[in-house]
Amino acid sequence: MIELLETIKIEDGQVKNIEWHNQRCNKSRFELFKEKSPLNLLNFIEPPQKGLYRCRILYDKKVNLVEYIPYSPKKINSLKIVQSNIDYNYKYNDRTELNSLLQEGYDEIIIEKNGLLTDTSIANIAFYNGDVWLTPTKPLLKGTMREKLLSEKFLIRKNIKSDNIKEFSHFALMNAMIGFQIHKSINIKL
């Protein structure tokens, strides 16, 4: 059976953005397994009271494993745009196909699919045009932080091509653990 993953930020005992994780988890369970009874992931979490943790919940129809891993962010100074037709509509536990796209000599990648930028291997992306933050219309994965920021009207969906990168002054990476992390001077190799 396919196994899915939710990565939830826990900071000093506080479980972050649980409603967005519950929403994605239950949507995935319904679409993949026709499971109609919703789960509340908070019922499975016993948050560590001190420190920053990545709570990993592995599930299919039911929760299979909950683990807490001390978190330290990945340092990203260079990215490379790579072409792929990867399908990653759900947050699978098996990241073999995503990891195979990583490029030696670069900290991270931006995946281009059908001529449009999508995501990095670990985060959704957004670009700042001097006025608003734009995020790809068709991400590989609808991340929980991205969905939250879209609902708050902080982000605007737009088709973005690699040629458009020069039009932006900043870009941001976003996921459950790093929130919305703005970058000004990172090398993006086309």
pTM of the model: 0.93
pLDDT for the residue 148: 97
Rounded Cα distance between 71 and 69, Å, is 6
User: What pLDDT score was predicted for residue 186?
Assistant: 63
Task: Supply the pLDDT for residue 108.
Answer: 93
pLDDT at 132 over 80: yes
User: Looking at the predicted structure, is the pLDDT value of residue 188 above 90?
Assistant: no
For residue 127, is pLDDT > 70? yes
Burial of 67 (0-12, 13-18, 19+ CB in 10 A): exposed
Using alpha carbons, select from 39, 40, 64, 67 the residue that is nearest to residue 54: 67
Q: Is the predicted pLDDT of residue 167 greater than 80, yes or no?
A: yes
Give the confidence band of 136 by pLDDT, cuts at 50, 70, 90: very high
Whether 4-70 shares its CATH topology with 78-189 is answered no
CA–CA distance, 124 with 174 (Å, rounded to integer): 5
Residue 190: predicted pLDDT: 66
Q: What is the pLDDT of residue 151?
A: 97
H or E element, residue 51: none
pLDDT of residue 184: 83
Which of 1.20.1530.20, 3.40.50.920, 3.20.10.10, 3.40.190.10 is the CATH number of 78-189? 3.20.10.10
Domain boundaries, the chain: 4-70, 78-189
* Mean confidence (pLDDT) of the chain: 95
Q: What are phi and psi of 35, to 5 degrees?
A: -85, 115
| CATH for 4-70 (3.20.20.70, 2.30.30.40, 3.30.470.10, 3.10.450.50) | 3.30.470.10
